[in-house]
Chain A
Amino acid sequence: MIYDTYTVFWREIVLLRKKYKSFFAGSMVSPLLYLLSFGWGLGRNIQFGSTSYLDFVVPGIVALSAMNASYNATGSSLNVSRLYHKTLEEFLVAPISVTSLVLGNIFSGCFRGLFSSGIIIIFSYFFGANMHLNGWFFVSLLLNCFLFASLGLVAAMVVSSHEGMSRFATFVILPMTFLCGTFFKVEKYPTLVAHFVKILPLTHSAVSLRAIAMNTGFPLVSLLVLTAYAVVLFALGVWVTYRVE
């Protein structure tokens, strides 16, 4: 099973090696834009309690970039492979387990998500942000990538058109980008809205990454919520892939 998972991942590596330049450049654009506009442009003029807004916002940007990168990696490429290129068939007629197929794709998504996050973390140092990075930071980040890669996979297997995929992204991914405590604290919302936003997974990614990076306590609840999302979405991913025709 590990070998099969690796095979699925291997294909991703082969493809990435071919277009590493555009992959590299592509992974940098949106993180840089976020850092420039929110971190530097907006952040320098905002005093935010005792800490700088830059320190506050960088973990949020890491969370949302990782979400976008991992979601798109599985979501759009698998959907295109299922509906247009039909390359998914090659995997479906092969004697590999559904779990391997799903895991291999999710790992590819995680890989891209982690890569994007790495770029932001490196850039943010040049912008002068301070972050505590430790193992738990990595764990939160990995959970974040894993759950959104799974979500992308579920969407790719269920949605039956390219338009449907972009609609899903517009209604689910885009709102999360801005609402989930990435650029400001969720507590600023009216209570009802705050409760709703607190259900969403990206909120917990932002909260836990921020708590660790700013060293303001251990985000146990958020980590548990992220784990729950990861497990449920992964199981759902296996189920829908098993059912796909």
Chain B
Amino acid sequence: MIKISGLCKYYKEVKAIDRLDLTVKPGEIFGLLGPNGAGKTTTIRILTTLARPTAGNAYINGKEVSRKKAEVKKEIGVVSQTENLDVEMTARENMELHGRLFKIPTRERRLQIKELLEFVGLTERADTVVGRFSGGMKRRLMIARALMHKPRILFLDEPTVGLDPQVRRKIWDLIRRLNGQGITVLLTTHYIEEAELLCHRVGIMNKGKLIALGTPEDLKKKVGKVVVEVPNHNETEYHVFEEREEALQFAAAMMHDVVIRESNLEDVFVELTGYKVGD
């Protein structure tokens, strides 16, 4: 479905992507995690034909992205990290522009606009100028717009950034429903629980390289099942253990109060990248 091999993207001396290999399977929700500047957006921009790779190849449904741009564009839907709606136009007009750009016949286009606005819960605001929308409404409209031409692969670059918990959950449900209809999803996120709850597989990127890949469970197993948090002056130390007994022994030897808990994806992230999420 999506295949990346030996992909590089250099901006002058910055290696935004450094020999990346990755395969996303059909019907999967795949999450890309990584600290700021890891190269997630750049990867998506290359896959969606918005940027040219310096070296290497990317394939969508077997088509080389930079060589078969027109065909690739018809098969993918893109929701960028930045809000790229036309703020002077209404929701309906934004959708109509998209429909026209993808040459959807007028009748089908009208129907699609109606259904999709319903789907993302924006029917009442269809004729409001987008400049007056809240962040969550804009995100939902961007998703609706990206679905108009019935793409088989959906790219979502930080789809829930800055949204309140209710809206975030709505968007997760939306993504799950789409996935249920057979759409492959590649998303990036900084929210660990988003990756853990939503994604079938996760890839962690750092400095343009993929440093871990697997299901959230696999990754947690890899770093260890149990974490002991030890407060140390102003910082917290994290110690990861394979077995509960080891952790208990370690904790018993500590002077301070410690927290013993199961490991989560955040621990994997911290362990591998040396950052705490959000740093």
Judging by beta carbons under 8 Å apart, are A93 and B86 in contact?
Answer: no
Known contacts: A86-B82, A89-B80. The answer to whether A95 contacts B88 by CB under 8 A is: no
Pick the contact of A92 from B49, B97, B98 — CB < 8 Å?
Answer: B49
Judging by beta carbons under 8 Å apart, are B50 and A92 in contact?
Answer: yes
Q: Does B14 contact A (CB under 8 A)?
A: no
Q: Does B150 contact A (CB under 8 A)?
A: no
Within 8 A of A (CB), among B80-116: 80, 82-89, 93, 97-98, 100-103
Judging by beta carbons under 8 Å apart, are B50 and A87 in contact?
Answer: no
Judging by beta carbons under 8 Å apart, are B89 and A89 in contact?
Answer: no
Judging by beta carbons under 8 Å apart, are B82 and A14 in contact?
Answer: no
Q: Is the interface of B mostly helix, strand, loop or mixed?
A: loop
Residue from B48, B80, B83, B86 whose CB has the most chain A CB atoms within 10 Å: B86
* Chain A hits for B45, CB < 8 A: 245
> Which of these binds chain B: A3-11, A60-68, A125-133, A202-210?
A3-11
Within 8 A of B (CB), among A64-116: 85-87, 89-97
Task: Bin chain A's interface residue count.
Answer: 20 to 34
* A8→B207 CA distance, assembly (Å): 38
Q: How many residues of B contact A (CB 8 A)?
A: 28
Q: Does A188 contact B (CB under 8 A)?
A: no
Q: Does A18 contact B (CB under 8 A)?
A: yes
Judging by beta carbons under 8 Å apart, are A87 and B84 in contact?
Answer: yes
Residue from B71, B74, B100 whose CB has the most chain A CB atoms within 10 Å: B100
With A90-B98, A93-B73 already in contact, 5 other A-B pairs whose C-beta atoms are closer than 8 Å = A3-B103, A15-B89, A89-B84, A92-B50, A245-B50
Pull 18 A–B residue pairs with CB atoms less than 8 Å apart, ordered by A: A3-B103, A7-B100, A10-B100, A11-B97, A14-B89, A14-B93, A85-B86, A86-B80, A86-B82, A89-B50, A90-B84, A90-B86, A90-B101, A93-B49, A94-B98, A95-B73, A95-B74, A245-B51
